[in-house]
Amino acid sequence: MTIANPSTSDDLGSAAQRERRKRILDATYDLAKSGGFDAVQMRAVAERADVALGTLYRYFPSKIHLLVSALGRQFDEASARLGEREIPGDTQAERVLYVLKRMARGMQGDPKLTEALTRAFMFADSSVTNEIHVVGMAMTSIVTHAMHGGVPDEGALTDEDVAIARVIGDVWLSALVAWVTGRSTAAETAAHMETAVGLILRD
Amino acid sequence: MTIANPSTSDDLGSAAQRERRKRILDATYDLAKSGGFDAVQMRAVAERADVALGTLYRYFPSKIHLLVSALGRQFDEASARLGEREIPGDTQAERVLYVLKRMARGMQGDPKLTEALTRAFMFADSSVTNEIHVVGMAMTSIVTHAMHGGVPDEGALTDEDVAIARVIGDVWLSALVAWVTGRSTAAETAAHMETAVGLILRD
DNA sequence: GCATAATTTGGAACACGTTCCACTACGTTT
DNA sequence: AAACGTAGTGGAACGTGTTCCAAATTATGC
């Protein structure tokens, strides 16, 4: 018996499988967008994606895997969009804040979606390492890209740059959780990020 | 009809109620310590605390409230223990790292417990704001105490000190989540915290 | 085109968080 | 001491994530 795992194996399977996978992620996205974490119910996802429950679980072994995969797709897209353009701002801090604010705006426009994806990310255990890694890389790449002003000069990426980007990503994540769970407002979150970036990126 | 809520009301109720509350938190602690988040099952907590399931829910309206309250008790104790002593180290960075490492050691000694409490903390929504606040304050107070060298000179606590402490707390939390969920090792976590504190607390 | 393997389906079943209810025990007021 | 209200008990029941299975469907090798 071949053990196929369409969600993590490198080869993406047949066209029909790729199509199913996309339908599932789209359904997840829609449900998350309209009702948040709680609305992403496995039976509902399966029904909307027009697959059986068992099939859904074959593609994504848990609700968390499913949501984190959807988050990964989001971040990849955001990262690609931002990668195309120059980032305005004269200092690293300004550019990073520009990008973070931009992302924050996007997320605030879809609070339910953001809540669902963030919750899943925070709840993920080690079985979701691969999917998490995708998100972490995208986050780091977004921040380093902003630090370097949007010029794709990858040679200039030092270890310290990456370390800094990871620290900023950490603060961003904590702030996001606080916002998503209603413990802080969007304005407080923005102010907090300014403080943090100001501290970390003193030029 | 008086609406009693023994878990959040300021007055802690009768001695019997305080006793029940303690038994419940102790049971939570024991179960979390031996089996982590999944082992803290409401029926199991109720049974071990010798309380009916309905009573458990009267004291703590959800599993998350329960675990976050237990976490709050932990942090309060840690904060009190640390508050008594002078913190060794010549610079703010050294002292903060000393304290963080100390806490990390404690947490690594009880990985299951740490996993349960951290998971709950990250999953909490706005209905848990009060309990979360207790934890946040304890964390901030631990870090600022370390920054000031352990001398209880509260007058010196500036807004910036608090902001810095919060940023460090954010990084610490993200690192903790990564460690708890098996995405990074204890050593990586420690190194990451050194980087972050070094960046944030350049004297 | 057939035989065989792999995948998908539909749905039952289970686990655990949560809710609800009827009943009992207890402490307070009078 | 009697009546009343509040808290606690025991247990059934419900919702949703997850698992499992037999039957149907689809893909693959010959």
A vs B, Cβ pairs < 8 A, gives 77
Contact A112, A65 (CB under 8 A): no
Write the pLDDT tens digit of every residue in A8-30. Answer: 444 456 777 889 999 999 999 99
Contact B72, B172 (CB under 8 A): no
SS3 of B142-170: HHHHHHCCCCCCHHHCCHHHHHHHHHHHH
Asked if pLDDT for residue A6 goes beyond 50, the answer is: no
Return the exposure string of B22-32: e unless at least 16 CB atoms fall within 10 Å of the residue's CB, then b. Answer: ebbbebbbbbb
Distance separating alpha carbons of residues A17 and B134, to the nearest angstrom: 48
The three-point CA angle B77-B42-B13 to 5° equals 55
Distance separating alpha carbons of residues B137 and B166, to the nearest angstrom: 9
Q: Does the distance separating the beta carbons of B195 and A163 come in below 8 Å?
A: yes
Distance separating alpha carbons of residues A195 and A96, to the nearest angstrom: 12
Asked if pLDDT for residue A2 goes beyond 80, the answer is: no
Which segments of chain B have a pLDDT < 50? Answer: 1-10
Instruction: Return the pLDDT at A13.
Output: 66
Instruction: Return the pLDDT at B3.
Output: 37
Query: How many angstroms separate the CA of residue A52 from the nearest CA in chain B?
Result: 28
Instruction: Return the pLDDT at A4.
Output: 44
Picking from B68, B115, B167 by the largest number of A CB atoms within 10 A of its own CB, the best residue to mutate is: B167
Which residue ranges have CB below 7 A from strand C?
A: A 1-2, 4, 6, 16-17, 20, 50-55, 58; B 14, 16, 38, 40-43, 53-54, 57, 61-64
Write the pLDDT tens digit of every residue in A110-158. Answer: 999 999 988 888 888 888 888 888 888 888 988 999 998 866 665 678 8
Distance separating alpha carbons of residues B80 and B70, to the nearest angstrom: 16
Write the pLDDT tens digit of every residue in A157-179. Answer: 888 999 999 999 999 999 998 89
Question: Is the pTM for the entire model greater than 0.80?
Answer: yes
- ipTM computed for the complex: 0.85
Both tokens of A85, joined, read 């353009």
Distance separating alpha carbons of residues B122 and B133, to the nearest angstrom: 13
Which residues from A are below 8 Å from B199, CB to CB? 163-164, 167, 199-200
Write the pLDDT tens digit of every residue in A68-120. Answer: 999 888 888 888 888 888 899 999 999 999 999 999 999 999 999 999 988 88
Q: Give the side-chain half-sphere CA count within 13 A for B92.
A: 18
Instruction: Return the pLDDT at A127.
Output: 87
Both tokens of A11, joined, read 């080869």
Instruction: Return the pLDDT at A188.
Output: 93
From the Cβ of B58, is strand D under 7 Å away? yes
A159: Cβ contacts below 8 Å, ≥ 6 apart: none
Distance separating alpha carbons of residues A146 and A199, to the nearest angstrom: 17
Instruction: Return the pLDDT at B17.
Output: 82
Q: Give the side-chain half-sphere CA count within 13 A for B167.
A: 25
User: Which residue did the predictor score with more confidence, A181 or B193?
Assistant: B193
Instruction: Return the pLDDT at B1.
Output: 38
Which residue bears the tokens 């009768």?
Answer: B14
- Distance in Å, residue A48 CA to nucleotide D23 C1': 23
- CA–C1' nearest nucleotide, residue B37: C16
Write the pLDDT tens digit of every residue in A36-79. Answer: 999 999 999 999 999 999 999 999 999 999 999 998 888 888 88
> What value does the mean pLDDT take over residues A26-35?
96
